[in-house]
Amino acid sequence: MLNIVGLGLSLKDISVKGIEAINKSDEVYIESYTSLSDYTIKELEEFLKTKIKVLHRSEVEEEKPFFQKDKEITLLIYGDPLSATTHTEILQEAKKKNIQTKIIQSVSIFTAIARTGLQLYKFGKTASIPFWTENHKPESFFDLLEQNQSIGAHTLFLLDLDPKENKFLSIKEALKIIQEISKKRNFKLGKAIGCSRLGLESEVIKYDSIKNLQNQDFGNAPYCIIIPGELNFSEEDFIANY
């Protein structure tokens, strides 16, 4: 059996079901490249009272040492296994190998964004803003913003993670990219919401003009940006707190 267990957003977000799966597992692995956490692997091991084997990208995508028919295995995923970071390819391959799987879900950025006061059912398509380089400046994420704005929907932008450098694109850098594209496309921007470490005790949520947000200190990653669509009275009243 392969248990794929979501860790949630903070150290103690893992569910009772997740802990039970870990306790009966022969081996426990963690996928370490799709997110940064506010705790170390050692702290996680101490909390869960188990030894955890850290997997790198090639091991998750190619080698897959957690595919073992004769053992009970748990693979830990930051956030939720089937939300912001999708691992459906693992499920598909496990099925082909006749390995039983069990998904144990947890909270993710897609639930934590409700902490801003925006209503979840009013969000449109989500996109990631990548790092720009001198020769690579993709704009496809902005197309989704335009689509969402056309129907009054809110837009969640996840900011890119460079696993080699172990860093996220900053909110300031992402907002500069958004501004540059909006000027080129003559697209009018209103206010935005900058968020860091949503779901943690140290979370930061700020609602302001894009210009002002670029001068704000959001502290450590992970980050996201929300461009609101049409706000109803309840949303306007709540978001004013930030």
Number of C-alpha atoms within 13 angstroms, CB side, residue 230? 4
What does residue 40 show for φ and ψ, rounded to 5 degrees? -90, 165
Task: Give the per-residue pLDDT at 166.
Answer: 67
Tell if the pTM clears 0.85, that is, is over it: yes
pLDDT tens digits for 123-169? 999 999 999 988 899 999 999 999 999 999 999 999 987 766 667 89
- Cβ distance 126 to 140 under 8 Å? no
Residue 208 identity (one-letter amino acid): D
Angle at 163 (CA atoms; ends 19, 181), nearest 5 degrees: 120
Domains of the chain: 2-107 (3.40.1010.10), 110-239 (3.30.950.10)
Evaluate if residue 33 carries a pLDDT over 70. no
Element (H, E) at 139: none
Residue 206, phi-psi category: left (phi > 0), alpha (psi -120 to 50), beta (remainder): beta
Neighbours of 35 (CB within 10 A): 19
Q: Which residues pair with 34 in a beta bridge?
A: none
- pLDDT band at 63, cuts 50/70/90? confident
